[in-house]
Chains A and B, each alone.
Chain A
Amino acid sequence: MLDTTAGKISAFIAHRFPKATITDADDIFSLGFINSLFAMELVMFLEKEFGITLPNNELVIDNFRTVTRMAELVGRLRPEPAAV
Protein backbone atom coordinates (compact mmCIF):
# COMPACT_ATOMS: atom_id res chain seq x y z
CA MET A 1 0.00 0.00 0.00
CA LEU A 2 2.67 2.47 1.06
CA ASP A 3 4.69 1.83 -2.08
CA THR A 4 1.96 3.02 -4.38
CA THR A 5 1.49 6.64 -5.39
CA ALA A 6 -1.86 6.80 -3.60
CA GLY A 7 -0.32 5.14 -0.54
CA LYS A 8 2.44 7.72 -0.33
CA ILE A 9 0.01 10.61 -0.70
CA SER A 10 -2.31 9.08 1.85
CA ALA A 11 0.57 8.63 4.30
CA PHE A 12 1.61 12.25 3.88
CA ILE A 13 -1.91 13.46 4.70
CA ALA A 14 -2.27 11.01 7.58
CA HIS A 15 1.02 12.24 9.06
CA ARG A 16 -0.25 15.82 9.08
CA PHE A 17 -3.73 14.93 10.35
CA PRO A 18 -3.09 11.89 12.56
CA LYS A 19 -6.54 11.90 14.15
CA ALA A 20 -8.46 11.97 10.88
CA THR A 21 -9.59 8.95 8.94
CA ILE A 22 -9.47 9.82 5.26
CA THR A 23 -10.18 7.35 2.50
CA ASP A 24 -8.75 7.70 -0.97
CA ALA A 25 -12.15 8.86 -2.22
CA ASP A 26 -12.89 11.49 0.45
CA ASP A 27 -12.99 15.10 -0.71
CA ILE A 28 -10.37 16.55 1.61
CA PHE A 29 -11.38 20.09 0.70
CA SER A 30 -15.01 19.56 1.73
CA LEU A 31 -13.94 17.77 4.93
CA GLY A 32 -12.39 21.01 6.07
CA PHE A 33 -8.83 19.75 6.45
CA ILE A 34 -7.42 21.85 3.68
CA ASN A 35 -6.45 25.43 4.11
CA SER A 36 -4.33 27.35 1.67
CA LEU A 37 -1.13 26.49 3.55
CA PHE A 38 -1.74 22.78 3.38
CA ALA A 39 -2.65 23.04 -0.30
CA MET A 40 0.77 24.54 -0.91
CA GLU A 41 2.43 21.82 1.20
CA LEU A 42 0.64 19.20 -0.91
CA VAL A 43 1.94 20.71 -4.14
CA MET A 44 5.48 20.84 -2.78
CA PHE A 45 5.20 17.26 -1.51
CA LEU A 46 3.93 15.90 -4.85
CA GLU A 47 6.64 17.68 -6.84
CA LYS A 48 9.45 16.57 -4.54
CA GLU A 49 8.27 13.04 -3.79
CA PHE A 50 7.49 12.09 -7.38
CA GLY A 51 10.07 14.26 -9.15
CA ILE A 52 7.51 16.10 -11.23
CA THR A 53 6.75 19.73 -11.99
CA LEU A 54 3.06 20.50 -11.93
CA PRO A 55 2.16 22.75 -14.86
CA ASN A 56 0.13 25.82 -13.92
CA ASN A 57 -3.00 24.60 -15.68
CA GLU A 58 -3.03 21.50 -13.44
CA LEU A 59 -2.92 23.56 -10.22
CA VAL A 60 -6.68 23.59 -9.74
CA ILE A 61 -8.69 22.36 -6.79
CA ASP A 62 -10.36 19.54 -8.73
CA ASN A 63 -7.01 17.78 -9.17
CA PHE A 64 -6.41 17.81 -5.42
CA ARG A 65 -9.82 16.93 -4.00
CA THR A 66 -9.10 13.28 -3.25
CA VAL A 67 -6.09 11.03 -2.84
CA THR A 68 -7.24 9.17 -5.95
CA ARG A 69 -7.36 12.35 -8.06
CA MET A 70 -3.88 13.36 -6.89
CA ALA A 71 -2.54 9.92 -7.72
CA GLU A 72 -4.12 10.23 -11.18
CA LEU A 73 -2.50 13.63 -11.60
CA VAL A 74 0.90 12.21 -10.68
CA GLY A 75 0.28 9.27 -13.02
CA ARG A 76 -0.47 11.60 -15.93
CA LEU A 77 2.73 13.52 -15.39
CA ARG A 78 4.98 10.63 -14.46
CA PRO A 79 3.82 7.24 -15.65
CA GLU A 80 4.63 4.70 -12.97
CA PRO A 81 7.49 2.38 -13.88
CA ALA A 82 6.35 -1.07 -14.86
CA ALA A 83 6.50 -3.67 -12.09
CA VAL A 84 9.58 -5.81 -12.21
Chain B
Amino acid sequence: MPEIGVIGAGVMGVGVAQNLAQCGFDVVLVDRDEEVLANARAAIARNCRMSALMGGPALDADAVLARITTAQGADAVAKSEIVIENITENWEAKRALHAELDQVCGPEVVIIANTSAIPITRIASVGAHPERVVGVHFMNPVPAKPVVELIPGVHTAPDTVRRTRELLEAMGKRAVEAKDASGFISNRVLMLTVNEAAFLVYEGVATAEAVDEVFRGCFGHPMGPLETADLIGVDTILYSVEVLYEHFADSKYRPCPLLKQMTDAGLHGRKSGRGFYTYN
Protein backbone atom coordinates (compact mmCIF):
# COMPACT_ATOMS: atom_id res chain seq x y z
CA MET B 1 0.00 0.00 0.00
CA PRO B 2 1.25 3.51 -0.74
CA GLU B 3 2.34 5.78 2.06
CA ILE B 4 0.04 8.66 2.88
CA GLY B 5 1.22 11.76 4.73
CA VAL B 6 -1.16 13.24 7.31
CA ILE B 7 -0.27 16.67 8.63
CA GLY B 8 -1.78 17.97 11.85
CA ALA B 9 -2.43 15.53 14.71
CA GLY B 10 -5.49 17.23 16.20
CA VAL B 11 -8.92 15.62 16.28
CA MET B 12 -9.29 15.52 12.49
CA GLY B 13 -5.73 14.40 11.73
CA VAL B 14 -6.02 11.62 14.29
CA GLY B 15 -9.25 10.42 12.71
CA VAL B 16 -7.83 10.53 9.18
CA ALA B 17 -4.64 8.70 10.22
CA GLN B 18 -6.59 6.01 12.05
CA ASN B 19 -9.02 5.55 9.15
CA LEU B 20 -6.13 5.16 6.69
CA ALA B 21 -4.23 2.71 8.92
CA GLN B 22 -7.39 0.67 9.50
CA CYS B 23 -7.70 0.33 5.73
CA GLY B 24 -4.13 -0.92 5.36
CA PHE B 25 -2.29 2.25 4.38
CA ASP B 26 1.08 3.17 5.83
CA VAL B 27 0.76 6.60 7.41
CA VAL B 28 3.23 9.30 8.38
CA LEU B 29 1.47 11.50 10.94
CA VAL B 30 3.14 14.88 11.32
CA ASP B 31 2.77 17.67 13.86
CA ARG B 32 5.04 20.40 15.18
CA ASP B 33 4.49 19.33 18.76
CA GLU B 34 5.87 16.10 20.20
CA GLU B 35 3.29 16.06 22.98
CA VAL B 36 0.44 16.37 20.46
CA LEU B 37 1.87 13.35 18.60
CA ALA B 38 2.06 11.30 21.81
CA ASN B 39 -1.53 12.25 22.63
CA ALA B 40 -2.53 11.30 19.08
CA ARG B 41 -1.21 7.77 19.49
CA ALA B 42 -3.06 7.45 22.81
CA ALA B 43 -6.26 8.77 21.20
CA ILE B 44 -6.00 6.29 18.33
CA ALA B 45 -5.48 3.41 20.79
CA ARG B 46 -8.56 4.57 22.75
CA ASN B 47 -10.68 5.01 19.60
CA CYS B 48 -9.72 1.55 18.34
CA ARG B 49 -10.75 0.09 21.68
CA MET B 50 -14.16 1.78 21.50
CA SER B 51 -14.72 1.05 17.81
CA ALA B 52 -16.97 -2.02 18.14
CA LEU B 53 -19.09 -0.33 20.80
CA MET B 54 -19.64 2.62 18.49
CA GLY B 55 -20.99 0.31 15.79
CA GLY B 56 -17.69 0.15 13.89
CA PRO B 57 -15.42 -2.82 13.20
CA ALA B 58 -13.51 -4.53 16.04
CA LEU B 59 -10.00 -3.12 15.78
CA ASP B 60 -6.63 -4.24 17.06
CA ALA B 61 -5.07 -1.01 18.32
CA ASP B 62 -1.53 -2.38 18.09
CA ALA B 63 -1.98 -3.41 14.46
CA VAL B 64 -3.44 0.01 13.56
CA LEU B 65 -0.71 1.90 15.40
CA ALA B 66 1.99 -0.26 13.79
CA ARG B 67 1.09 1.30 10.41
CA ILE B 68 1.43 4.86 11.75
CA THR B 69 4.79 6.58 12.04
CA THR B 70 4.86 9.94 13.79
CA ALA B 71 7.25 12.75 12.92
CA GLN B 72 7.83 16.44 13.51
CA GLY B 73 8.22 18.73 10.52
CA ALA B 74 6.55 18.74 7.11
CA ASP B 75 9.62 17.33 5.32
CA ALA B 76 8.72 13.92 6.80
CA VAL B 77 6.07 13.54 4.07
CA ALA B 78 8.63 13.83 1.23
CA LYS B 79 8.03 10.20 0.21
CA SER B 80 4.26 10.21 0.51
CA GLU B 81 2.17 9.80 -2.66
CA ILE B 82 -0.70 11.77 -1.23
CA VAL B 83 -0.63 14.29 1.62
CA ILE B 84 -3.70 15.20 3.66
CA GLU B 85 -3.38 18.49 5.54
CA ASN B 86 -5.55 18.86 8.67
CA ILE B 87 -4.07 21.80 10.56
CA THR B 88 -6.06 24.51 12.30
CA GLU B 89 -8.59 26.50 10.23
CA ASN B 90 -6.41 29.58 10.17
CA TRP B 91 -5.48 31.10 6.85
CA GLU B 92 -1.97 32.25 7.85
CA ALA B 93 -1.10 28.81 9.22
CA LYS B 94 -2.50 27.08 6.14
CA ARG B 95 -0.69 29.49 3.80
CA ALA B 96 2.69 28.90 5.45
CA LEU B 97 2.29 25.12 5.51
CA HIS B 98 1.12 24.82 1.91
CA ALA B 99 4.07 26.96 0.77
CA GLU B 100 6.35 24.49 2.56
CA LEU B 101 4.53 21.44 1.13
CA ASP B 102 4.92 22.86 -2.36
CA GLN B 103 8.70 22.65 -1.85
CA VAL B 104 8.78 19.31 0.00
CA CYS B 105 6.43 17.34 -2.29
CA GLY B 106 7.17 16.42 -5.90
CA PRO B 107 4.74 17.81 -8.50
CA GLU B 108 3.06 14.40 -8.91
CA VAL B 109 1.99 14.34 -5.25
CA VAL B 110 -1.68 15.08 -4.59
CA ILE B 111 -2.23 17.52 -1.73
CA ILE B 112 -5.58 17.32 -0.01
CA ALA B 113 -6.65 20.20 2.22
CA ASN B 114 -9.11 19.08 4.90
CA THR B 115 -11.13 22.19 5.60
CA SER B 116 -14.69 23.24 6.26
CA ALA B 117 -14.17 26.94 5.71
CA ILE B 118 -11.18 28.11 3.69
CA PRO B 119 -11.57 28.32 -0.12
CA ILE B 120 -9.60 25.58 -1.88
CA THR B 121 -8.67 27.87 -4.76
CA ARG B 122 -6.99 30.23 -2.29
CA ILE B 123 -5.06 27.38 -0.65
CA ALA B 124 -4.02 26.07 -4.08
CA SER B 125 -2.78 29.52 -5.13
CA VAL B 126 0.05 29.35 -2.57
CA GLY B 127 2.12 26.82 -4.52
CA ALA B 128 3.43 26.44 -8.06
CA HIS B 129 1.13 23.45 -8.77
CA PRO B 130 -2.48 24.40 -8.06
CA GLU B 131 -3.60 21.50 -10.27
CA ARG B 132 -2.57 18.95 -7.62
CA VAL B 133 -4.44 20.58 -4.74
CA VAL B 134 -7.99 19.55 -3.85
CA GLY B 135 -10.28 19.99 -0.84
CA VAL B 136 -11.90 17.24 1.19
CA HIS B 137 -14.15 18.02 4.13
CA PHE B 138 -13.99 15.02 6.44
CA MET B 139 -16.60 14.70 9.19
CA ASN B 140 -15.83 13.91 12.82
CA PRO B 141 -15.28 11.17 13.96
CA VAL B 142 -13.62 10.41 10.64
CA PRO B 143 -13.58 6.56 10.75
CA ALA B 144 -17.31 6.47 11.58
CA LYS B 145 -18.60 8.88 8.95
CA PRO B 146 -19.20 7.33 5.51
CA VAL B 147 -19.57 10.52 3.46
CA VAL B 148 -17.21 13.42 2.77
CA GLU B 149 -17.41 16.55 0.66
CA LEU B 150 -14.95 16.71 -2.24
CA ILE B 151 -14.13 20.19 -3.49
CA PRO B 152 -12.00 20.82 -6.56
CA GLY B 153 -10.57 24.33 -6.81
CA VAL B 154 -10.62 26.37 -10.03
CA HIS B 155 -7.33 24.85 -11.25
CA THR B 156 -7.62 21.33 -9.81
CA ALA B 157 -6.80 18.71 -12.49
CA PRO B 158 -9.29 15.90 -13.26
CA ASP B 159 -6.51 13.41 -12.48
CA THR B 160 -6.13 14.89 -9.00
CA VAL B 161 -9.86 14.44 -8.43
CA ARG B 162 -9.69 10.86 -9.76
CA ARG B 163 -6.79 9.89 -7.46
CA THR B 164 -8.50 11.52 -4.51
CA ARG B 165 -11.72 9.62 -5.21
CA GLU B 166 -9.74 6.36 -5.36
CA LEU B 167 -8.12 7.08 -2.00
CA LEU B 168 -11.45 8.00 -0.42
CA GLU B 169 -13.03 4.83 -1.77
CA ALA B 170 -10.20 2.77 -0.28
CA MET B 171 -10.92 4.54 3.04
CA GLY B 172 -14.56 3.43 2.80
CA LYS B 173 -15.86 6.90 1.98
CA ARG B 174 -18.40 8.13 -0.52
CA ALA B 175 -17.43 11.52 -1.91
CA VAL B 176 -20.06 14.14 -2.68
CA GLU B 177 -18.64 16.78 -4.97
CA ALA B 178 -19.37 20.48 -4.49
CA LYS B 179 -17.94 23.59 -6.07
CA ASP B 180 -15.53 25.79 -4.18
CA ALA B 181 -17.81 28.20 -2.32
CA SER B 182 -17.44 29.11 1.35
CA GLY B 183 -19.02 26.49 3.61
CA PHE B 184 -19.50 24.09 0.64
CA ILE B 185 -22.76 22.21 1.30
CA SER B 186 -22.58 21.06 4.90
CA ASN B 187 -21.39 24.15 6.75
CA ARG B 188 -23.40 26.55 4.62
CA VAL B 189 -26.62 24.91 5.79
CA LEU B 190 -25.59 23.54 9.19
CA MET B 191 -24.05 26.76 10.52
CA LEU B 192 -27.08 28.81 9.51
CA THR B 193 -29.32 26.23 11.17
CA VAL B 194 -27.33 26.35 14.41
CA ASN B 195 -27.23 30.15 14.24
CA GLU B 196 -31.00 30.36 13.81
CA ALA B 197 -31.50 27.83 16.62
CA ALA B 198 -29.37 30.08 18.84
CA PHE B 199 -31.62 33.02 17.87
CA LEU B 200 -34.65 31.04 19.10
CA VAL B 201 -33.02 30.69 22.52
CA TYR B 202 -31.74 34.30 22.45
CA GLU B 203 -35.22 35.65 21.69
CA GLY B 204 -36.85 33.40 24.28
CA VAL B 205 -38.97 31.62 21.68
CA ALA B 206 -37.86 28.19 22.89
CA THR B 207 -35.38 26.52 25.21
CA ALA B 208 -32.37 24.64 23.86
CA GLU B 209 -34.03 21.39 24.97
CA ALA B 210 -37.20 22.24 23.02
CA VAL B 211 -35.30 23.13 19.86
CA ASP B 212 -33.28 19.91 19.96
CA GLU B 213 -36.33 17.79 20.76
CA VAL B 214 -38.06 19.03 17.59
CA PHE B 215 -35.09 18.06 15.45
CA ARG B 216 -34.71 14.66 17.09
CA GLY B 217 -38.39 13.81 17.40
CA CYS B 218 -39.83 15.36 14.25
CA PHE B 219 -36.96 14.95 11.80
CA GLY B 220 -35.23 11.89 13.21
CA HIS B 221 -31.88 13.65 13.61
CA PRO B 222 -29.67 11.79 16.11
CA MET B 223 -28.76 15.15 17.70
CA GLY B 224 -30.44 18.56 17.63
CA PRO B 225 -28.61 21.67 16.37
CA LEU B 226 -27.71 23.00 19.81
CA GLU B 227 -26.39 19.67 21.08
CA THR B 228 -24.37 19.67 17.89
CA ALA B 229 -23.13 23.18 18.64
CA ASP B 230 -21.95 22.02 22.08
CA LEU B 231 -20.18 19.08 20.47
CA ILE B 232 -18.45 21.12 17.77
CA GLY B 233 -17.73 24.01 20.15
CA VAL B 234 -19.77 27.21 20.40
CA ASP B 235 -16.64 29.26 19.63
CA THR B 236 -16.02 27.20 16.49
CA ILE B 237 -19.64 27.68 15.40
CA LEU B 238 -19.30 31.45 15.85
CA TYR B 239 -16.06 31.45 13.86
CA SER B 240 -17.65 29.45 11.04
CA VAL B 241 -20.69 31.75 10.86
CA GLU B 242 -18.37 34.77 10.81
CA VAL B 243 -16.42 33.24 7.91
CA LEU B 244 -19.66 32.83 5.92
CA TYR B 245 -20.71 36.39 6.83
CA GLU B 246 -17.39 37.84 5.68
CA HIS B 247 -17.17 35.72 2.56
CA PHE B 248 -20.66 36.37 1.17
CA ALA B 249 -21.05 39.86 2.72
CA ASP B 250 -24.70 38.90 3.19
CA SER B 251 -26.63 39.83 6.34
CA LYS B 252 -28.41 36.48 6.36
CA TYR B 253 -25.22 35.08 7.91
CA ARG B 254 -25.11 37.61 10.78
CA PRO B 255 -23.99 35.74 13.90
CA CYS B 256 -26.44 35.52 16.79
CA PRO B 257 -25.31 37.78 19.68
CA LEU B 258 -25.86 34.87 22.07
CA LEU B 259 -23.10 32.91 20.30
CA LYS B 260 -20.75 35.87 20.80
CA GLN B 261 -21.65 36.25 24.45
CA MET B 262 -21.26 32.52 25.14
CA THR B 263 -17.89 32.54 23.40
CA ASP B 264 -16.75 35.53 25.51
CA ALA B 265 -18.04 33.82 28.66
CA GLY B 266 -16.09 30.64 27.96
CA LEU B 267 -19.30 28.63 27.53
CA HIS B 268 -17.85 26.70 24.61
CA GLY B 269 -19.83 23.47 24.98
CA ARG B 270 -18.69 19.98 25.91
CA LYS B 271 -15.01 20.84 25.90
CA SER B 272 -15.49 23.55 28.57
CA GLY B 273 -18.15 21.67 30.57
CA ARG B 274 -20.95 24.08 29.69
CA GLY B 275 -22.54 25.48 26.56
CA PHE B 276 -26.24 25.25 25.77
CA TYR B 277 -26.17 22.33 28.21
CA THR B 278 -24.12 21.56 31.32
CA TYR B 279 -21.79 18.55 31.34
CA ASN B 280 -20.13 16.70 34.17
Contacts and interface: CB of A to CB of B under 8 A. Distances in A.
Interface of A: 15, 19, 32, 35-37, 39-40, 43, 56, 59-61, 64
B158 interface: no
B211 interface: no
B54 A36 contact: yes
Which one of B53, B54, B55, B223 has the highest number of Cβ atoms from chain A below 10 Å of its Cβ?
A: B53
A39 B54 contact: yes
A61 B231 contact: no
Contacts of A35: 222-223
B107 interface: no
B201 to A, nearest CB: 18
A53 B49 CA distance: 12
Contacts of B144: 36
A59 B49 contact: yes
Given A35-B222, A37-B231, A60 B52 contact: yes
A64 B53 contact: yes
Residue from B52, B209, B231 whose CB has the most chain A CB atoms within 10 Å: B52
A60 B216 CA distance: 25
Interface of B: 49-50, 52-55, 58, 141, 144, 209, 216, 222-223, 231, 270, 280
A35 B280 CA distance: 17
Contacts of A39: 50, 53-54
Given A32-B216, A36-B141, A43 B53 contact: yes
Contacts of A43: 50, 53
Nearest to B217: A32
B55 A36 contact: yes
Nearest to A42: B53
B218 to A, nearest CB: 13
Nearest to A15: B280
A81 B141 CA distance: 39
Given A39-B53, A43-B53, A59-B53, 5 more contacts: A32-B222, A36-B50, A36-B144, A59-B50, A61-B55
A25 B139 CA distance: 34
27 contacts: A15-B280, A19-B209, A32-B216, A32-B222, A36-B50, A36-B54, A36-B55, A36-B141, A36-B144, A37-B231, A37-B270, A39-B50, A39-B53, A40-B50, A40-B53, A40-B54, A43-B50, A43-B53, A56-B49, A56-B58, A59-B50, A59-B53, A60-B52, A60-B53, A60-B58, A61-B52, A64-B53
Contacts of A36: 50, 54-55, 141, 144
Contacts of A40: 50, 53-54
User: Which of B54, B141, B231 has most A Cβ within 10 Å?
Assistant: B54
